A and B are shown apart, each in its own frame.
Chain A
């Protein structure tokens, strides 16, 4: 790098630093408030220092009140839904990529349309459907709609199209069953693709709001995002410390996922995973 190029990159770094700061500051603020004492929001930098550090908000939300239950619900839904999503995406994606069955084009077109169409259209019918099935306010209501997500299927279909079928053909010639080929050859070779589907499925499931809001009615079935949003609307003065401690808890798994799978998250975003 020449001296001139180095000099000219100083304002670029200054700008990037400022943008990165603006981008992270609200989250650092959230973490700071969550680690403070009392219910007041620290406002000036001197407040941030003066308030001291304590885990009292975390202790409060995790021992009393419904927040621990919200977190448990979110974990249950995510732990059940995401592995199924991943498995379904592999199976359906593989079928779409390898088999020219009747109606294949229709499936692809519908799935693609669902990627971009507003999901809110299905809100009222899903509510009525699940309520008539007696599933409203259950884990199934929170889990089942996630299993219809088309992103993973389309992503894996594309993934398998770019993956050679030679090994599978050879196994078939050797008399392997379709199931054996799928479980013992296709799945073990699908790791990189399934990581993209899995981590993006995790983000969507963990952060889901509108459907969980409508499909649950009792406090004990709320997921973290829904519980937090409703908690913020209580008639009484908002307890910011508790609220932002809950928000920080809801963010931690996302931070971990981001730390390990940033590349896969970006790849998913580039190929149409919605937020």
Chain B
């Protein structure tokens, strides 16, 4: 009995977790099998897998998925390379290291709304970037209005906002490398680059894989960037999965359909986690510097 009594501390959080975590998760699954418009409770009915079938047959769903894949393919290699390089630079200095680490990491703590608003001002027709292009005698660029440029503009912002965050993750992994290994390598006459390739890279590899995974999963959840900068346009060129879900649920009140979209998102993310575990090895949670 003493053991059960000891667990009472779990209750406050446990209740909220059950009510606002687990229950909504299960409720969403149930909703995904219903036609559910909260404004028309008389029309709620069971539709089986119809919502899923409709999603898989909907051009918007595939378009949103494709946008996300372009986003990942376009940002991940750049973000990863930059983050790795920055972590190397940070690891190689002593004096001022704290300042540089803080300056580079700070954007990661900001509200994405604030970041997106600042970039919206930079990308504005009369904004800083176009002003500079004009000063150089170049013509204006419609950063967010041109369907070919809107997504790349958002990707650029995402890279800016992410590099510091991942650089800090990789830096932490670098620091767990014992100093003696560097000494030994230097005594053997290895160059900086060789040390980087033969010793550091294998050591931080699990964290790099974790960064790949985390960044991919986050890219599938992009919402604020799109909401603030483009609202999915122009011509749906920046329509992401979560923005699509938001529109279906809160503009069209197709709550059942939106829940099916949410579960498809969950399945995609789950599949990414499984692929990571199966082919890249290791538990992603274990890769953290725990």
| A177–chain B nearest beta-carbon distance, Å | 10
Bound complex: CA A120 to CA B284 (Å): 21
Of A9, A12, A41, A269, which is within 8 A of B169 by CB? A269
Q: Are A270 and B289 in contact (CB under 8 A)?
A: yes
Q: Are B245 and A23 in contact (CB under 8 A)?
A: no
Q: Are A20 and B100 in contact (CB under 8 A)?
A: yes
Bound complex: CA A149 to CA B137 (Å): 52
Q: Which residues of B contact A124 (CB under 8 A)?
A: 28, 31, 249, 255, 258-259, 262
Q: Are B27 and A129 in contact (CB under 8 A)?
A: yes
Of B118, B130, B217, B285, which is within 8 A of A27 by CB? B118
The interface-forming segment of A51-59, A61-69, A87-95, A188-196 is A87-95
Q: Which residues of A contact B5 (CB under 8 A)?
A: 178
Main secondary structure of the interface of A (DSSP, over half): helix
Bound complex: CA A112 to CA B273 (Å): 13
For the complex of A and B, list the 6 residue pairs with the smallest distance between their C-beta atoms, beginning with the closest: A43-B131, A125-B24, A91-B9, A122-B24, A20-B103, A95-B9
Number of interface residues, chain A, beta carbon within 8 A: 96
Q: Are A269 and B168 in contact (CB under 8 A)?
A: yes
| Residue contacts A-B, CB under 8 angstroms, 19 given | A23-B164, A24-B106, A33-B121, A92-B9, A114-B21, A118-B220, A122-B28, A124-B31, A125-B31, A127-B255, A128-B27, A148-B20, A153-B13, A207-B110, A209-B224, A244-B121, A247-B114, A247-B117, A275-B112
Bound complex: CA A89 to CA B67 (Å): 38
Query: 1/0 per position for B255-273, CB-CB distance to A under 8 A?
Result: 1001100110110010001
Q: Are A121 and B106 in contact (CB under 8 A)?
A: no
Q: Which residue of B is nearest A87, CB measured?
A: B12
Main secondary structure of the interface of B (DSSP, over half): helix
Bound complex: CA A206 to CA B109 (Å): 11
Bound complex: CA A24 to CA B17 (Å): 37
Q: Are B266 and A210 in contact (CB under 8 A)?
A: no
Bound complex: CA A128 to CA B22 (Å): 15
A15 CB–B CB distance under 8 Å: yes
Q: Which residues of B contact A128 (CB under 8 A)?
A: 27, 31, 38, 255
| A267–chain B nearest beta-carbon distance, Å | 9
Q: Which residues of B contact A147 (CB under 8 A)?
A: 12-13, 16, 20
Bound complex: CA A100 to CA B11 (Å): 15
B138 CB–A CB distance under 8 Å: no
Q: Are B128 and A43 in contact (CB under 8 A)?
A: yes
Of A13, A27, A122, which is within 8 A of B25 by CB? A122
B23 CB–A CB distance under 8 Å: yes
Bound complex: CA A228 to CA B250 (Å): 19
Bound complex: CA A115 to CA B110 (Å): 20
Q: Are B19 and A118 in contact (CB under 8 A)?
A: no
A72 CB–B CB distance under 8 Å: no
Query: 1/0 per position for B239-263, CB-CB distance to A under 8 A?
Result: 0001001100110000100110011
Bound complex: CA A24 to CA B112 (Å): 15
Q: Which residues of A contact B100 (CB under 8 A)?
A: 16-17, 19-20
Q: Are B20 and A122 in contact (CB under 8 A)?
A: yes
Report if A16-B21 is in contact (Cβ < 8 Å); known contacts: A29-B128, A88-B12, A123-B262. no
Q: Which residues of B contact A71 (CB under 8 A)?
A: none
Q: Are B109 and A41 in contact (CB under 8 A)?
A: no
B274 CB–A CB distance under 8 Å: no
Q: Are B217 and A116 in contact (CB under 8 A)?
A: yes
Of B6, B116, B117, which is within 8 A of A98 by CB? B6
A26 CB–B CB distance under 8 Å: yes
Of B10, B19, B231, which is within 8 A of A95 by CB? B10
| A125–chain B nearest beta-carbon distance, Å | 4
Which residues of B in the span 6-62 have a Cβ within 8 Å of any Cβ on A?
6-14, 16-17, 19-25, 27-28, 31, 38
Q: Which residue of B is nearest A22, CB measured?
A: B160
Which residues of B in the span 170-218 have a Cβ within 8 Å of any Cβ on A?
172, 217
A142 CB–B CB distance under 8 Å: no
B3 CB–A CB distance under 8 Å: yes
| A32–chain B nearest beta-carbon distance, Å | 11
Q: Are B249 and A271 in contact (CB under 8 A)?
A: no
The interface-forming segment of B73-81, B86-94, B145-153 is B86-94
